[in-house]
């Protein structure tokens, strides 16, 4: 007896499913269950294969349909976004709000009359919204103006230093005092006009935000004669804002660096047969583009001619290049390495996989994570509380502690500066955005901060078998010659000739798994439903049959039964090649485990999660795969509605549950799960729209990476909150019972803000073991 182990090359599957979510950024996300179907093909060799109905991905929108977009130049932090949201939420008739903080834009969906009310409410807060055209790029006019503000800030600092110098060195006479006051006013005017404008607007509507606190503190200091200190406080505050803005922009735009990966032009075939370089944005769908070795792919496409290795790390996070040949997909921003390729453009520049990844991360940045919502609520109470405390110090301490009125007012102003909640409020978005960007660089597309935070709570991971844990298609794993006198090459050729004529997945696996020099012709080919196929090959009447047909032909034996049982217990489907004299060979076909699945399951167990396999396949096959992976709990013979019920039961029994799937038949379970992970989302619009988390390269090891990233993000979030509140508390006590000055208060606020920003930026380094 001769045996041969064969392995067919793996093929990645596009994953699409119908798990739909609402991504309106200022509301809780919701699950909308989509219909799902599954198809089981009867196996001519007694095997049932799971297959997913193909779903055509819809075109991704390039604009916000029905929304009117406005740029709000001075909306540069989460506090101000929250103010605008709070002012707009009570207005009846507003259907939806979408904030794009990185580009300082607001998209508003409402009738014209209601929009007028909304704009008036925004202007009352001191902001000036500017209408953007529908065709404007998302980043249009998005410059933060940092460069223009630097020169003004330097002038302000010089004027403040001049005021301090005059107050310290000049004689205490009226002319020198007037000169010092003039320099202080100049410094405040250069650095703080915008702060004053927004602060006064906030005070008019009774909102005690950071701008209101600074306006009151600086004005109070000036009134009590501390104008050099008032000027320096405003200049230092503006400097802190500038540094924070630069650091936050680094986090917000970390993923934007991917845009530079896609070339600005492409070599396109013209109607006259000539090749011409065109801007990538001008290349139409269906155009043919030529790509040289070493060049980056300018647009999404499908290979027409050529074969090459392509580095897909920028899009999928894969460490090794992927071989591409005719029919394979290419993604914008990836790198062609070894040979020339020609490909057909399948998506416009604005709708490429790379552009959609960036768009999805930007949308996720605009949504509020649970910790961020907690911090916003806390800051809304904390700021007024400190304002009341400062007022109490100013009014009561002369009576209670014997301070002078000037001392009491000064300490109250110091308290107001310390109370600025900027460090606290900024602590969460920087961390969340950095985590989202780090994940995207690894090929993990997380659709919002809520999923980044909630992933740490997962107790159970339910895993679809076919296409998620396994390759998703059968391959020939064993070919055994059962008639010693027969020639192996000849028998293989007969089996391949019969299998190649069938379109059944198992027959296709046998045909693809066998390689012979020349495949003979088949005469009188016929398929027997539920049994197999038959035909004349080189004068021999042959059948490629399942167990039942061989028994019906009277060609089964005890030894053959034992051999078949070994393969069937391992979850393989067995087909037998036989002639009139008996069985010639045994073919064993199975869906093989992905190389990454074993380590991924082991990592999940190490992280304290319980992996559960959910499969529509028969129990024996499912058990065999589970045993290879170390999964002890599994459910088999499941229809889509059964998977849904299994998720509900796991949630009730064990706690928060994730569902990992790759097809539309997993949609109900993905919708019910606490977090839905879609595998193999590169290039498919449907998967991006449907899942909470999309694993772009079909690598299951990205799942434990997501859990680790979530746990790390949680730790950094609470480190930042502790830093912000701890520093504030220390300086509040120093202001009340020590000798804290307004300078110290500003440095405390600046220091706390920078500490939490840079601590949050550590998340950009990505998930760690």
| Residues annotated as part of the active site | 464
Q: In what order do the strands lie in the sheet with 96-100?
A: 96-100, 105-109, 68-72, 129-131
Q: Are 679 and 667 in contact (CB under 8 A)?
A: no
Segments of 58-126 assigned E as strands? 68-72, 96-100, 105-109
Q: Where are the alpha helices (DSSP H) in 367-443?
A: 370-400, 405-418, 422-441
Q: Give the residue among 298, 411, 428 at the shortest CA–CA distance from 369.
A: 428
- The token pair that represents 193 in the structure block: 């006009």
Q: How far is CA 613 from CA 454, 631, 646, in A?
A: 22, 7, 10
Angle CA 275–277–280, to nearest 5:
125
b/e string for 533-543 if b means 16 or more Cβ within 10 A? bbbebeeeebb
Rounded-to-10 torsion of CA 417, 422, 425, 430: -160
Q: Are 635 and 611 in contact (CB under 8 A)?
A: no
Q: What's the rounded Cα separation, in Å, for the pair 696 and 707?
A: 16
- The token pair that represents 687 in the structure block: 């998967």
Q: What's the rounded Cα separation, in Å, for the pair 494 and 483?
A: 14
Q: How many residues does the chain have?
A: 769
Coil vs helix vs strand at 477 = strand
| Burial of 672 (C-beta count, 10 Å sphere; 0-12/13-18/19+) | buried
| Burial of 5 (C-beta count, 10 Å sphere; 0-12/13-18/19+) | exposed
- Helix (H), strand (E), coil (C) string for 254-320: CHHHHHHHCCCEEEEECCCCCEEEEEHHHCCCCCEEEECCCCECCCCEEEEECCEEEECHHHHCCCC
Q: What's the rounded Cα separation, in Å, for the pair 700 and 468?
A: 7
Helix and strand element counts for the chain (H, E): 23, 31
Q: What's the rounded Cα separation, in Å, for the pair 636 and 196?
A: 66
- The token pair that represents 732 in the structure block: 């509040």
Q: Give the residue among 142, 140, 63 at the shortest CA–CA distance from 109.
A: 63
- In the numeric block, the tokens 């599957």 are attached to 13
Q: In what order do the strands lie in the sheet with 657-661?
A: 444-446, 693-695, 675-679, 657-661, 460-464, 610-614, 633-635
């Amino acid at each position: 007896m001769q045996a041969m182990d064969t392995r067919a090359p793996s093929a990645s599957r596009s994953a699409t499913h119908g798990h739909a979510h609402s991504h309106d950024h200022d509301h809780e996300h919701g699950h909308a269950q989509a219909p799902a179907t599954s198809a089981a093909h009867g196996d001519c060799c007694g095997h049932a294969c799971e297959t997913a109905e193909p779903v055509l991905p819809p075109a991704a929108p390039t604009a916000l349909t029905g929304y009117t977009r406005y740029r709000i130049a001075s909306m540069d932090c989460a506090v101000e976004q929250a103010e605008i949201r709070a002012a707009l939420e009570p207005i009846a008739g507003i259907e939806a709000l979408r904030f794009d903080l990185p580009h300082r834009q607001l998209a508003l969906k409402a009738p014209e009359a209601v929009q007028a009310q909304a704009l008036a409410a925004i202007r009352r807060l001191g902001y000036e919204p500017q209408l953007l055209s529908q065709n404007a790029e998302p980043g249009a006019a998005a410059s933060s103006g940092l460069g223009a503000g630097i020169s003004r800030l330097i002038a302000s600092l010089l004027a403040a230093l001049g005021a301090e110098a005059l107050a310290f060195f000049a004689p205490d006479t009226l002319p020198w005092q007037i000169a010092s006051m003039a320099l202080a006013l100049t410094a405040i005017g250069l650095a703080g006009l915008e702060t004053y404008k927004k602060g006064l607007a906030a005070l008019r509507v009774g909102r005690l935000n950071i701008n209101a606190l600074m306006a009151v503190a600086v004005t109070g200091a000036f009134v009590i004669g501390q104008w050099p200190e008032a000027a320096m406080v405003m200049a230092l505050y503006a400097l802190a804002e500038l540094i924070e803005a630069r650091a936050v922009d680094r986090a917000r735009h970390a993923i934007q660096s991917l845009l530079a990966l896609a070339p600005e032009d492409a070599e396109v075939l013209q109607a006259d047969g000539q090749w011409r370089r065109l801007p990538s944005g001008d290349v139409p769908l269906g155009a043919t583009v030529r790509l040289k070795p070493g060049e980056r792919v300018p647009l999404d496409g499908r290979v027409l001619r050529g074969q090459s290795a392509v580095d897909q790390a920028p899009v999928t996070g894969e460490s090794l290049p992927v071989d591409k040949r005719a029919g394979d997909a290419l993604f914008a921003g990836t790198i062609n390495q070894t040979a020339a390729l020609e490909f057909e453009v399948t998506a416009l520049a604005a709708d490429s996989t790379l552009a959609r990844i960036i768009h999805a991360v930007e949308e996720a940045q605009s949504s509020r994570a649970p910790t961020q919502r907690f911090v916003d609520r806390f800051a809304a109470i904390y700021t007024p509380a400190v304002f009341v405390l400062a007022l109490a110090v100013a009014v009561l301490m002369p009576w209670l502690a014997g301070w002078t009125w000037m001392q009491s007012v000064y300490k109250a102003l110091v308290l107001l500066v310390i109370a600025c909640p900027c460090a606290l409020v900024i602590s969460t978005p920087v961390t969340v955005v950095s985590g989202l960007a780090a994940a995207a660089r690894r090929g993990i597309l997380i659709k919002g901060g809520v999923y980044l935070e909630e992933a740490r709570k997962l107790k159970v991971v339910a895993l679809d078998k076919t296409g998620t844990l396994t390759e998703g298609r059968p391959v020939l794993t064993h070919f055994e010659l059962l008639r010693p006198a027969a020639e192996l090459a000849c028998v293989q050729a007969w089996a391949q000739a019969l299998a190649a004529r069938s379109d059944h997945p198992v027959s296709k696996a046998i045909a693809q798994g066998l390689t012979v020099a020349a495949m003979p012709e088949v005469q009188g080919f016929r398929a027997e439903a539920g049994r197999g196929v038959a035909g004349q090959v080189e004068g021999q009447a042959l059948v490629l049959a399942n167990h039942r047909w061989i028994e019906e032909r009277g060609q089964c034996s005890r030894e053959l039964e034992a051999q078949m049982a070994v393969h069937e217990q391992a979850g393989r489907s067995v087909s037998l090649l036989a002639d009139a004299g008996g069985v010639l060979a045994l073919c064993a076909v199975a869906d093989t485990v992905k190389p990454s699945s074993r380590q991924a399951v082991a990592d999940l167990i190490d992280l304290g999660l319980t992996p559960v396999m959910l499969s529509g396949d028969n129990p024996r096959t499912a058990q065999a795969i589970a045993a290879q992976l170390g999964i002890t709990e599994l459910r088999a013979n499941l229809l889509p509605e059964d998977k849904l019920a299994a998720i509900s039961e796991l949630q009730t029994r064990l706690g928060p549950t994730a569902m990992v799937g790759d097809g539309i038949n997993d949609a109900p379970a993905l919708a019910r799960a606490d977090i839905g992970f879609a595998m193999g989302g590169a290039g498919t619009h449907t998967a991006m729209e449907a899942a909470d988390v999309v694993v772009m390269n079909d690598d299951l090891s990205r799942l434990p990476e997501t859990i680790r990233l979530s746990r790390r993000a949680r730790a950094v979030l609470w480190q930042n909150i502790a830093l912000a509140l701890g520093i504030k508390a220390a300086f509040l006590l120093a202001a009340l019972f020590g000798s804290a000055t307004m300078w110290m208060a500003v440095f405390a606020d600046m220091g706390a803000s920078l500490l939490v920003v840079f601590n949050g930026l550590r998340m950009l380094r990505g998930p760690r073991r």
